[in-house]
Amino acid sequence: MARDFPQSVLFCCDHNATRSPMAEGLMKKFYGHRAYVQSAGVKNELEIDGFAVAVCAEMGVPLERHRVRSFDEMQEWGDDISGFDLIVALSPASQRRALDLTRHFHLDVEYWPILDPTGLGETREAKLDAYRQARDQIAKRMVDRFGPPTQHEEATA
């Protein structure tokens, strides 16, 4: 059952290269401008994952222009983490970091245990299947949490 719809959501994972950009793009695709949506990672040493780009493109969610960023970069750029209504952590490390960063603020941190598809599968098709599984887990959790999609416009993450 969907709870109150937040005004702003931050999705986070380990590197902001796979799961959190997929979640950011899907959220924008499903709900448009109903909420301000961003994503970040504990680290930022990777580029956007090509398999994540491919499986999101299958749903009309373009990720190729996504810029990877970390929690530290957010703070450097003046993005105040306390300004978000909801933080959704998609990995245990990002949940720990989000809880640490928000310990002095009254804001919700939810943990969605989403499969990390990186390193799974021997062939290209097997890898794509793992990424689709992660994408679909995110989409299901999103619909369960925020309700049915309200629009299907072009999304940009």
Contact, 90 vs 112, CB < 8 A? yes
Q: What pLDDT band is residue 2 in, cutting at 50, 70 and 90?
A: low
Of 41 and 83, the structure prediction assigns the larger pLDDT to 41
pLDDT in tens, 13-52: 999 999 999 999 999 999 998 999 999 999 987 889 999 9
Sketch out the chain's domains with CATH numbers.
8-146 (3.40.50.2300)
Give residue-wise pLDDT tens across range 110-157: 999 999 999 899 999 999 999 999 999 999 999 999 999 986 544 444
